[in-house]
Structure 1
């Protein structure tokens, strides 16, 4: 009809068809105070198929009445209301009763929104209808139940939740992968650092990536290699230092001299075993103590030892003689030297002291001094009568009897002087090794008999007894030197047995010695005897039981030392048994001749 042609002419539906687009479903056009639902199809000629757009279109229309609204609502599953100028033109059957209220509510809220009609809730959306002449204010309203919309919204929310959950899972997987890639090397680095802290310098991080963590891992590996090399060098240096320290400790421990070291403040830092023995205090007692507390005694000019040895920071070396007081109160003669300890730059680090117990040397020095005094005395004793009688004979003539008597005294003193000189010479020769012994088999009974016969002539008022069996095996000795030993022992027996007490010489077989069977040759007297505390010292050099200037018996203190040297050179031994006031017995243990030792007849 003309009204339909007028409505569709220039409408958007025709434009869509002619441009190749499909018309919108359910599009309404206004026509003569009503609305028409338009549909159509584009036409292309066989000749014009290659053209980009159709050349014609066919449109159909249907009156948008309540029947159309019912069909459209069923197809769209929505309620449809068509209004014109605020009045309902057509509506789906379910909305016919409430459509005026719906249209009124939509005018209040605008184009779309939730509305409440009657006792139910609806969701409505409207769009404006444009049409031909005389058609204004037209609207199409699509309506859905609020519950349906809620279901749609809930379904949408569920879809959104599932999408979000899936996104979170994917993000978690990505995070785990990224974390594993980033954190695993850091964990390996942390484990390697912990291993280094425990002392394992051979650990490897096993991180070989090309990123910053990989650079850090390789740097860490280079560091551990460097630390391992340095640690090996330090271990070698420590071992070398420990070996050196051990050698130094062994050296200081084996020293016979005392070694004491102090720091620059004078505190004891080293104290070897010899120092412990010298001072009488242990290392644990003195370590860290001031030196003046450890070394107590007297130095020359009455000074304390520490003052004489110099301050701990002194650069000077000192040598001094001290009398150190041990912890038990005993004074010990000590030779001390002190020197500074410096580093490579010359800085003084402390002081080292070497102390030596010179008790033996002091005693030898004392005995030498006493020996010189004794020699002086012993030489003057025979020289005085020699000189006196010689001067008497030189002044004037005497009768033959007096002359012979004076000559006899001179001769006797000369022999005594000769004996003293010979003893000194023999002692020095034996001590230096210049005199050699020549052992040979000697029958003791004959040697002792000859010796005692001479002594009977020399001391006519003395009794001499011999108890040497002739069946005794011969001894392997130097006969001249054995006579020298017996002469010395008999002389001592006579000298220390005042009142003419008898002297006896005996011999007997005394079993096995170090070199075979031995004979014990003994000289006994009933003289003054020797104290038990000094009996073991009588064979020492320069020893005299009474060394005072007022001693009753002369002598040089070399006789018994000479006897010991001779017997030792013959492979024998010497002992003494004595009791004060009851006399002494000196025993010489002599080896039997070689033929007897070897079992030959």
Structure 2
């Protein structure tokens, strides 16, 4: 507003200055023109007397800077001219001022010079002998005067502009200051121009209305945020242009999106083709349900259109994290397939041996041998079923055991003593290191974990190798590590060794034995006991498994 007032004042000032200057130039030009004509008449009167008495000699004595004087005979011949050679000058009877002087006794004329931008004023007076005495003087035109005065005029104009700008700035600020100092928080207490009173009253009413509307909107928004914030499901509200109107933290977290800008398209949160198709369909008025694959997570999308009468006004999108459900379904299918395969092999062997015995083709001395085979396969089935039951119990978190104080060092030492015979057969040396550390835990589960780790370290070791169990008790944590010098595990297999029925060395799985559930039991058992499992391994150098409890 200050700038607008400033520009208005400057514009008015400029128009006034230009108009005033033009008017002044016109008045002065007219005044000086009349003054010049009066001066020429006076000079002509003086010269008339002198010429009448003394003749041409008076004219010859005129100073060089005097006005131009021409003496013309009755027939128009130039007798004398103080600015030119009289003999070279043409007859002047055709001149307007000469004609008027011969007829009326005196005559005046003005002739313009287009090249010089000047005009010449001529005054002629008839003498007693009917000769004509003419005096002329040059007068600048307005354009010529402007050319002569351009530099001082510019200087004056600049000075006037600067002064005008200074005063216009001060005046505009002075006018606007009361408006800028309006206290819109308390408009009823404002003391300003009387003309502003209706405006202030209207502002006061609107302010109260807006405050009430804002208060209601904030209350509703707060209630909505409280409700949506507590939701584990993600919630998105969009308009027909896909612009995001509302969202909760769960939705942004599920879509792995950062801070959302105002009026940002919902498609910027996830650019997958499935999500785009879902948004496109729901904005066409369809109810849509789909599943998005978000890197390592799965998200179920339920989108419903919102109608205003019969027109689509937008859509509400509900996001549900179904990663665990999808993973469980996948694990269940994989587990079922693996269990079926693992159970089928020993059952097939048992069935085959029993069928051979039943057929009577087996010699009496070989019955015992076949019975041993059946027994071994049955034990394998029993072990497999036991491991499956343990995995199921850990999955369902339904262990029938109580927590108790356990010395981990002593527990590991007992496990190694039980596996000593297996280690001797595999020609592997067992070592126990570290210190005593007590922990409140579930003894059977911890015993099973340590046994599986040590048993694997023996099975997948090399002849002449070693297995070292170390217990460390520090201020912040308790760590039990099982280090072997075996075949090692590749980087690609590290993330899979804890999967059910996964074996690192499949070529020796028959020789090594086992169910393939050992490390899976370790993983689930450690999670149940609140321990963290770490694995370090180098091919052909060995592996180290660590169980870490934070104090």
- TM-score w.r.t. length of structure 1: 0.49
Q: Write the distance in 2 (CA, Å) between the matches of 1:263 and 1:408.
A: 74
What is the aligned partner in structure 2 of residue 455 from structure 1? Answer: 422
1:376 deviation in Å?
1.5
Match of 1:389 among 336, 353, 357: 353
| Aligned CA distance change for structure 1 residues 229 and 533 (closer, same or farther; 3 Å) | farther
Structure 1: distance between partners of 2:296 and 2:481: 41
Residue by residue, what CA displacement relative to the aligned partner does 1:510-563 show, whole Å, maximum 9, x if unpaired?
33345xxx4635252412x22346636645x64847799999998776432322
Question: Quick one: distance in 2 between partners of 1:308 and 1:563?
Answer: 42
Contact conserved, 2:503 with 2:509, CA < 8 A, in 1?
Answer: no
Q: Helix, strand or coil for the counterpart of 1:466?
A: strand
8 A Cα contact 2:229 2:248, kept in partner: yes
Match of 1:468 among 414, 432, 445: 432
Aligned to 1:468, the other structure's residue is in SS state: strand
Matched with 1:202 is: 188
Q: Is 1:424 aligned to residue 388 of structure 2? A: yes
Q: What CA RMSD, in Å, does the superposition of the two structures yield over aligned residues?
A: 5.0
How many angstroms apart in 1 are the aligned matches of 2:486 and 2:508?
Answer: 23
- From 533, 539, 542, the counterpart of 1:574: 533
Partner SS state of residue 512, structure 1: coil
Shift of the alpha carbon at 1:360?
5.5
Alignment of 1:297 onto 2:276: no
Residue of 340, 343, 346 corresponding to 2:305: 340
Q: Give 1:373 deviation, angstroms.
A: 1.8
Specify the structure having the higher radius of gyration (Cα): 1
Superposed CA deviations along residues 329-381 of structure 1, whole A, max 9, x for unmatched, are x69744211012345x6753201223456556544443332222211111112
* CA distance in 2: counterparts of 1:263 and 1:269, whole angstroms: 7
Task: Report the CA distance shift for 1:509/1:562 in structure 2 as closer, same or farther (over 3 A).
Answer: same
Distance (Å, rounded) in 2 between the aligned partners of 1:411 and 1:551: 20
Distance 2:389 2:523 in 1: 16
Whether 1:244 aligns to 2:220 is yes
Equivalent residues of 1:448, 1:505 under 8 A apart: no
Q: Which residue of structure 2 lines up, in the alignment, with residue 29 of structure 1? A: none
CA distance in 1, matches of 2:353, 2:242: 69
Asked if the contact 1:271/1:283 (under 8 Å) is kept, the reply is no
In the alignment, the residues of structure 2 paired with residue 336 and residue 577 of structure 1 have an alpha-carbon distance, to the nearest angstrom, of 39
Richer in helix (by share): 2
- Work out which of the residue numbers 469, 478, 498 in structure 2 matches 1:506: 469
CA distance in 1, matches of 2:297, 2:435: 54
SS in 1 for 2:304: strand
1:182-209: per-residue Cα shift (whole Å, max 9, x none)?
A: xxxxxxxxxx99999957553599xxxx
Cα pair 1:374 1:555 within 8 Å, conserved? no
Q: Does 1:561 align with 2:520?
A: yes
Q: Is the 8 A contact 2:445 2:525 kept in 1?
A: yes
Residue aligning to 1:321 = 291
Q: Is the 8 A contact 2:240 2:313 kept in 1?
A: yes
Matched with 1:520 is 480
Contact 1:510/1:519, CA 8 A, preserved across alignment = yes
Paired residue secondary structure (2:395): helix
Deviation at 1:244, TM superposition (A): 3.2
Alignment of 1:403-422 (within 5 A): 403-422=367-386
Task: Tell me the distance in 1 between the aligned counterparts of 2:314 and 2:513.
Answer: 54
Distance 1:560 1:569 in 2: 14
Once the two structures are superposed, what CA deviation does each residue of 1:285-330 show, in whole Å capped at 9, x if it has no partner? 8945484x7654344xxxxx44445535444432112447xxxxx6
- Report the more deviating stretch, 429-438 or 440-449: 440-449
Displacement of 1:270 in angstroms is 4.5
- After superposition, what is the alpha-carbon deviation per residue over 1:191-243, rounded to whole angstroms, capped at 9, x for unaligned? x99999957553599xxxxxxxxxxxxxx99x988985674353133023124
Q: Is the 8 A contact 2:228 2:248 kept in 1?
A: yes
Contact 1:444–1:474 under 8 Å retained in 2: no
1: distance between equivalents of 2:272 and 2:392?
Answer: 37
Is this contact kept in 2: 1:502–1:526, CA < 8 A?
yes
Task: Give the TM-score normalised by structure 2.
Answer: 0.53
Contact 1:477/1:590 (<8 A) preserved: no
Instruction: Give the CA deviation at 1:387.
Output: 1.5
CA distance, structure 2, for counterparts of residue 589 and residue 200 of structure 1: 65
**Structure 1 Cα separation of the partners of residues 547 and 233 of structure 2:** 37
Contact 1:490 1:503 in 2 (8 A): no
Q: Secondary structure at the match of 2:238?
A: strand
- In 1: Cα distance, 2:438 partner to 2:225 partner: 55
Per-residue deviation, residues 396-415 of structure 1 (Å, max 9, x unmatched): 16344421211111111111
Q: How many residues align?
A: 370
Structure 2 residues without counterparts, runs of 5 or longer: 1-177, 192-196
